[in-house]
Amino acid sequence: MQKSTFMPDEIPIGAMHSLFHAFNGHENQEFLLFISSAEDFSIKAVNYRFLQYFRDRLPALEENVSFYRDKIHPEDYPQFLRLLRSTETPADAKENSEILRFKSPFGHWKRFHFSSRRYDGFKENNEDFILTLAKPLDTSRVQGRREVGLETEQLLQESLNRYRVLVNSLDQGFGVVEMILDLQKNLVDYLFVEVNPAFEKHTDSRNPLGKTMREFYRDHESHWFNTLGKVAATGEPLRFEDYATAHHRWFDVYAFPIGSSKSRKVACLFSDITPRKEAEEKLQRLNEDLELKIKSRTRELEENNELLQMVFDTVKQGIFVMKPLFGENYDIVDFTYVRVNRIINRYYNQNQMVGRNFLKYNPGAAEKGVFEAFKQTMLTGESSDFEIELNRNGKNNWFRISGRRQKGLLICSLENITREKTKSQKLRENSRFRKQLVETSPDVILIFDLYSERVRCINRDISAEEGMSAEKIKGMALLDILPLIHPQDRQKTLGFHSGLLRGADDDLLEVEFRLKASEKQWECYNARGKVFMRNEKGNVVEYIVLLRNVQSQKMTQQALITAEKLSIKGEIARTLAHELRNPLASISMSVDILEKMNQESHKKKLKNYTDIIKRSTSTLNNLVTDLLTASNYSKPQMKKCCLARTTNKALRHAKDRIYLTGVTVHKRYRGPYFINADEEKLQIAILNIIVNASEAMVPNEGQLTLSIKKKKNTYSLTVTDNGCGMEKEQLDRLFESFYTRKPGGMGIGLCSVKNILDDHGATIEVQSVPNEGTSFVLTFPVHEDVNKGK
């Protein structure tokens, strides 16, 4: 059988004494307990017997000043220190023990059996502690036991055995605890000195004998310490029920003092009442829930009655309840008002209508068919719903009336729908007006649904071309519309879309772009857009676009611009014809003379320069001729050509200028890059940019870079120099006619370049940094054949 008491077997009288409160002269069998710091051996906690035994040394005990040195025999003191220092770390390790001499309160040296182990009940700043028990070895007790006699010893042993059988057979848990106090006499822990087998079953504690509660559960609730400490201090037993969080159980506990008053031990007889408590709590919760449901249902019924009355009195509709009146043949001849709400009272201008007859207040009800409808509802049980027009105060009013039979009563509602009828009539008229407006509008009207990202509505065909009809466009996804827009206009069209998503309701956005009219033709359209509908969060879900073909207007504007250009060019041509012909003739004659007068030795060297002068003279003559014929402006002859080849031709025409200025040329393209262009006109535009770049660079230091890159549907030609660059003011006016800052320049070169690129549907961008250089970026649509081959 498992050992059930912490007291040694050789002193069984102490157990009997502690159970029956018998004063038999064996109080000195109680043990001394003290908990010391493992670092400096200062005392932190003791049992009550320790306080009684050393009450004369309490001040020194509280100060921990040489207490052990004074109370332990000098010869045994080193053994005592070795005992404390040799304590093993685990709490359940084998205890170390020694027999040492302790000084009694009367100054005598008494032998005690010391045993020490590590104590993990509480930690202070990660400090370790040692629990020590000192049990007296009293020789007088042994002598006394011999004098008792064998028969008395056997009786005592039999009594102890019966006690153990009784305790071990209990279904309730039983335990005896020794109180452990700090030096201020506050209960901080208790030691289990006796338990029965049921103790472990009820608490799930493994081998609790000889261990403290804090060692099992460091966070044991303080109210348990308070309760058991009260029993130990007052000596009065206490019956209570309490919950142990550490065990997650409820216990019914009977705690009573046991043993001598010097030990202040407490015995506990307890039972696990968790199932009963849980059942009581469940029953209590059920009762509380039932009470809450009853109160809630009662309150709900009261609120429903109040709500029904409030609804009856506050709804916008008139509500009245009637009961039928029967004639001699049990036929319904009238109705009597049983209940009416305020709306009905106001309508009839009556304060009390209950008990009055229906036909009295409504003499025209029979003629209008209202009485017959109510009568049929009462007879058949079928509900009646109808609208009726009545004249009140000289004005026609529309009413919606409904009737329901309910438990022998007729429940009716009356609603004035005159405003609704008037609004519906206006809405129909507005709908007809809008329909006519949409049908007769010269604009194409589109509504875009952003939930489905499709065209929700379109009023007419955009054009007669295949794929541009209203039938094809309606329901088309927004992304499918993008390929119908000219590649160079797609970015600003997307910006128009984004602007509408961010715009206010009053914002009207406008954009111009080109739509495909045929395989090779694009037509210009003007679009105006406005927010049409938002969702509850304020986000745009629909916007409307008015689309108008402005191709003819653009052609008219272009004709006016062309006429203006021709007028300017005529003036320039006449000026150059007068100013350039004579100097050119003189230069040509001078070159001929130089060739004849040159010595043979220098002839070969000078031939390069005379050839340059001749070619330049020829070029200028051709330019004068072109300017003179500029008034006979003709539209570019667009054909498939290679942008790389055209650029190379422009470079060959500029080679003399490049040679004379010492410019280094870097070509970063190979080709082919097919575009739709008038090669001769495009060559003039590129040549003009190359000549301007050559003039902007320092002689013999110039670096001219030409590169061509392909993007999605375009080719970009970039001409970059490391010349003087331009200020922002120059960039803003760069393509204006007659604007120039070049000495002797006329300001028509870059204006001509811009006009040529506009005719090709190309764009030009200029990026420049003063004293660093300039880049011209020319962007051309890819030829249709290239896109088809993808």
Q: Is there a contact between 32 and 112 (Cβ–Cβ < 8 Å)? A: yes
- Helices 139-148 and 150-168 pack at an angle, to 10 degrees, of 100
Position 498 pLDDT exceeds 70: yes
Which range among 194-203, 305-314, 382-391, 703-712 has the greatest average pLDDT?
703-712
Write out pLDDT tens, residues 726-782.
Answer: 888 888 888 776 656 665 454 566 888 888 888 888 999 999 999 999 999 999 999
pLDDT at 641: 92
pLDDT at 599: 55
Q: Which helix (H) or strand (E) holds 234?
A: helix 222-234
pLDDT at 437: 61
Write the burial class of residue 641 (CB in 10 Å: 0-12 exposed, 13-18 middle, 19+ buried).
buried
Rounded to an integer, the average pLDDT of 230-241 is 89
Residue 210 confidence class, pLDDT cut points 50, 70, 90:
confident
Which range among 45-59, 556-570, 684-698 has the greatest average pLDDT?
684-698
Position 787 pLDDT exceeds 70: no
Closest to 213 in 3D by CA, of 240, 195, 233, 236: 195
Q: Is there a contact between 332 and 378 (Cβ–Cβ < 8 Å)? A: yes
SS3 196: coil
Write out pLDDT tens, residues 17-75.
Answer: 333 333 333 333 578 999 988 888 888 899 988 888 887 666 556 556 567 888 889 99
pLDDT at 583: 60
Position 514 pLDDT exceeds 80: yes
| Confidence (pTM) | 0.38
Distances (CA, A) of 316 to 64, 349, 423: 90, 16, 18
Write out pLDDT tens, residues 314-328.
Answer: 677 888 999 999 988
pLDDT at 374: 92
Residue ranges with strand state E in 636-744: 639-642, 664-668, 674-677, 703-710, 714-721
Per the structure block, which two tokens stand in for 190?
A: 């208790």
Position 631 pLDDT exceeds 50: no
Distance CA 195, CA 267 (A): 9
Q: Which residues pair with 665 in a beta bridge?
A: 704
Q: Is there a contact between 413 and 402 (Cβ–Cβ < 8 Å)? A: yes
The percentage of the chain sitting over the pLDDT mark of 90, rounded to a whole number, equals 17
Per the structure block, which two tokens stand in for 731?
A: 């960039």
Q: How far apart, in Å, do the first and last CA atoms of the chain sit?
A: 96
pLDDT at 776: 94
Among 123-132, 315-324, 573-582, name the one with the lowest average pLDDT: 573-582
Position 388 pLDDT exceeds 70: yes
Distance CA 128, CA 89 (A): 9
Write out pLDDT tens, residues 434-445.
Answer: 566 666 677 888
The percentage of the chain sitting over the pLDDT mark of 70, rounded to a whole number, equals 76
CA angle 194, 197, 202 (to 5 degrees): 100
Per the structure block, which two tokens stand in for 622?
A: 């051709």
Whole-number mean pLDDT of the chain? 79
Rounded to an integer, the average pLDDT of 513-518 is 81
pLDDT at 405: 92
Q: Is 64 left (phi over 0), alpha (psi -120 to 50) or beta?
A: left
pLDDT at 573: 56
Residue 404 confidence class, pLDDT cut points 50, 70, 90:
very high
Residue ranges with strand state E in 70-150: 96-103, 109-119, 129-136
pLDDT at 123: 67
Position 702 pLDDT exceeds 80: yes
